[in-house]
Structure 1
Amino acid sequence: MKVMVAVDESEGSMHALEWTLDHLFPWLNSGQQVLLRSLIVLHVQKHLHHYLFSKDLAVDMKSVINSVKRAQEQNTTKVVTSATEISVVHMKSVISSVKKAEEQNTTKVVTRATEICKARQIIAETIVLDGEPKDVISHTVELMEIDLLVGSHGHSKLKRWFM
């Protein structure tokens, strides 16, 4: 049976990994380190989103696109069009900072998942992919012919309360 555990920075996903190791593979606690080929730990980095904030919704989109392209080339923070002033949060330095933070987050998540496995003397295959988590996870499950997917739903306490 091939099992995949989807993890992120949440406590719930790490608990899902711990639960999987403790309940689906209890026979592994023999004290010897075991390479478990049937367990895959997957972390999906969300795509970096670029946003435009406009004061006027009736902006000619072609002029906005051209202005944004010019702003990217010049690494500017403000773009002025004939229709309106648009604040552009699409600077190269901001994007590189966000990417660096995402990489640090991924390293933290993968390290923590690996430590959870090591504490139980288990070596699991770890995969990091980019994209929208729900899409990437479902595609990977299908592609790798996974029998069981374990994870958490990712809802905050407030969101669960309203459900």
Structure 2
Amino acid sequence: MKVLDLHCPAGHVFEGWFASEDDFQNQLQRKLVQCPMCGDSDVTKRLSAPRINLGAQPPKAAAAAQNTPSAAPAQPASAPVPAAAQMPEISAEAREQLHAMQSAWVQWSRKVAENTEDVGKHFAEEARRMHYGETEDRAIRGQTSTKEALELLEEGIGVVPLALPESAGNEGGGSLQ
């Protein structure tokens, strides 16, 4: 698993997890990697600290290796095992909780998508029209820049940034008014 530090042209910094560098490049070319803050798919990698494997084996593997007469020690006895190499495995209960949270988030995302109108790149314009009584009030979602969202807030127009997956019926994140 590769954990990458990513950023978008608006300066948002976020983390992405990918199976490999090829997986990251493939998703990037297909515009599947998007900034969770603004939805921009013009994402680039930042320098990030690598995970360094100092040769430590997981505790079970290390114990099995020591019980085998012909096995060489995993590392010299004088070298301490780094704390990062002793990462505990995630419990079944924690895995279930994580799955439940992910499932709830997906359901919530779908509910938002089903109960709002996607106005796309015209979000700020449509939110202003509703605020000033030029069109009927309704729940909308769409995309806008951070600058434009701040301007809407300064005008007293309530907006909430959302990071909705495209699978929820959304074309790349958005805001909700």
Q: Same fold (TM over 0.5)?
A: no
- Structure with the larger helix share: 1
TM-score (norm 2): 0.25
TM normalised by structure 1 equals 0.27
* Greater gyration radius: 2
Q: Normalized per residue, which structure has more strand?
A: 1
Taking CA–CA contacts closer than 8 Å with sequence separation of 6 or more, which of the two structures ends up with the larger relative contact order?
1
